[in-house]
Amino acid sequence: MSGEKKIRVIELFAGVGGFRHGLEKANKDLFEVVWGNQWEPSRKAQDAFDCYSRNFSSGIHSNQDIGSVPDSVFQELAPDLVVGGFPCQDYSVARSLSGEKGIQGKKGVLFWEIERVLQNSHPKYVILENVDRLLKAPSSQRGRDFAIMLATFNNLDYNVEWRVINAADYGHAQRRRRVFIFAYKKDIAYNQEQKQFGLDEILYKNGFFAKAFPVLGTPYKNRINRLPCLSTDRVDLTENFKFEFHTTGVMRDGEILTVHTEPVEKSPTPLRDILLPEEVVDEKFYLTESMEEKFKYLRGSKKVERTTADGYKYMFSEGGMSPTDGLNLPGRTMLTSEGSVNRSTHIVEVNGRKRFLTPIECERLNGFADNWTAGMTDRMRYFCMGNALVVDLVERMGQELEKIEVHKDEDHEISQLAFSL
């Protein structure tokens, strides 16, 4: 391939840099992160941003409220790819006081900032990550918020794929389910190539996610749903939307096909494989007798009478779980409360002693390099890993994007050479 190809990247809501780390693992020479933004509101200490800055030297590192960044910054950056993990919030859109025009929902909703970035920078590709409940939010009107997002992409001239991915299904060490969204401009070559395929072919075989994360060729329990034309009116969607999204889907020019797919599974990495040698584990990570008793209660089955603030009594019940996490299984989903005396915290037993996972082991659960978060307190290291994505999944997406963006240029050069001969 002639010349040095670069994919210019903007990373939004960067955290400790999971997207960037994954893309650089895929091809550090190809993906050039020119601007990364991380800002934690209402916090004096900016631990995640400091971690990001320690681990990456190139590009602009922005530590300011994304809402205060001028449009001109995004216009000048001219990215090819925008990536980011963002909060699951209320994306509803209301009518103005005159009742004529839609206005954006609550202030501070970060998806509207993503929309603003795209409006001003027009990247060819977008990859976003969120919790899988996004597809069913809000509980009072299932799927509405995701429909508003899809309509936003359609209005900005993007087609979209999405997939709920459990990292353990594809060989990794954590049973972490997240929805990933891949959007691409309608005027680029990749969209023209995809147009030759039916929507079902994209979902099962020829799409971005199908190639990076293969699935079986039939829907699970025949869970499949179609929508001929998604409304472009976000106010109308807010007020009237009714539709069920499944774990995999594609939207092309407003037409939607969504299916509950099953992965072509690869054996997961067991917890045993990510543990440090016991001789290097600090004594502070081992449980005391009182902690063991507390965890025995927390992880056991229980029925407890509770009383609400207004005096109503009810029975709270909870099923039991294993006293420790099996070393031959992948880890459970790590939460921001990891490392605390909490039911969701991982507890491993090695050589007859129970302990927490160390921060390094939590980094390994997400595919980060050892000591990626070194320099902050253990509590913050756990918190940051509970917020992070599985880097290895992004690496696969980066490899697939490289095939789309780079190899097509190689094919074009070969065909041009053949024509000249």
Helix (H), strand (E) at residue 399: helix 391-402
Does the pLDDT at position 326 exceed 50?
yes
**Domain at 7-266+393-413, CATH homologous superfamily:** Vaccinia Virus protein VP39 (3.40.50.150)
Beta strands in 121-252 (DSSP E): 125-131, 158-166, 177-185, 224-227, 248-252
Q: What is the pLDDT of residue 52?
A: 98
In this prediction, residue 104 has a pLDDT band, given cuts at 50, 70 and 90, of low
Give the mean model confidence (pLDDT) for residues 344-359: 97
Which of 231-245, 302-316, 330-344 comes out lowest in average pLDDT?
A: 302-316
What lies within 8 Å, CB to CB, of 99 at 6+ separation is none
Does the pLDDT at position 1 exceed 70?
no
C-beta of residue 148 within 8 angstroms of C-beta of residue 91: yes
Does the pLDDT at position 420 exceed 50?
no
In this prediction, residue 418 has a pLDDT band, given cuts at 50, 70 and 90, of very low
Does the pLDDT at position 38 exceed 70?
yes
From the candidates 88, 229, 362, 384, give the one annotated as an active-site residue: 88
- Rounded (to 5) percent helix, strand, coil in the chain: 35, 20, 40
Instruction: Based on the residue annotation, tell me whether 88 is a catalytic residue of this protein.
Output: yes
* Cα angle: 67, vertex 117, 194; to 5 degrees: 150
**Domain at 271-387, CATH homologous superfamily:** DNA Methylase, subunit A, domain 2 (3.90.120.10)
Q: What is the pLDDT of residue 409?
A: 54
Q: Do domains 7-266+393-413 and 271-387 have the same CATH topology?
A: no
User: Longest C-alpha distance within the chain, in Å?
Assistant: 86
Q: Which long-range contacts (CB under 8 A, 24 or more apart) does 288-295 make?
A: 291/341, 292/354, 294/341, 295/323, 295/341, 295/345, 295/347, 295/354
Residue corresponding to tokens 């009714």: 242
Give the mean model confidence (pLDDT) for residues 408-414: 49
More confident residue, 65 or 317: 65
Residue among 124, 123, 243, 107 at smallest CA distance from 190: 124
What lies within 8 Å, CB to CB, of 308 at 6+ separation is 314
With 0-12 / 13-18 / 19 or more C-beta atoms within 10 angstroms meaning exposed / middle / buried, residue 247 is buried
Q: What is the pLDDT of residue 345?
A: 98
Annotated domain spans of the chain: 7-266+393-413, 271-387
Q: What is the pLDDT of residue 309?
A: 85
What are the tens digits of pLDDT across the range 252-263? 999 999 999 999
Q: What is the pLDDT of residue 100?
A: 57
**What CA–CA distance (Å, rounded) separates 176 from 164?**
10
Share of the chain above pLDDT 90, in %: 84
Which of 64-73, 94-103, 192-201, 242-251 comes out lowest in average pLDDT?
A: 94-103
Which of 17-21, 45-49, 102-106, 318-322 comes out lowest in average pLDDT?
A: 102-106
Does the pLDDT at position 311 exceed 90?
no
Q: What is the pLDDT of residue 205?
A: 97
More confident residue, 308 or 263: 263
What are the tens digits of pLDDT across the range 237-290? 999 999 999 999 999 999 999 999 999 999 999 999 999 999 999 999 999 999
Assigned token pair, 175:
């049973």
The three-class DSSP label of residue 181 is strand
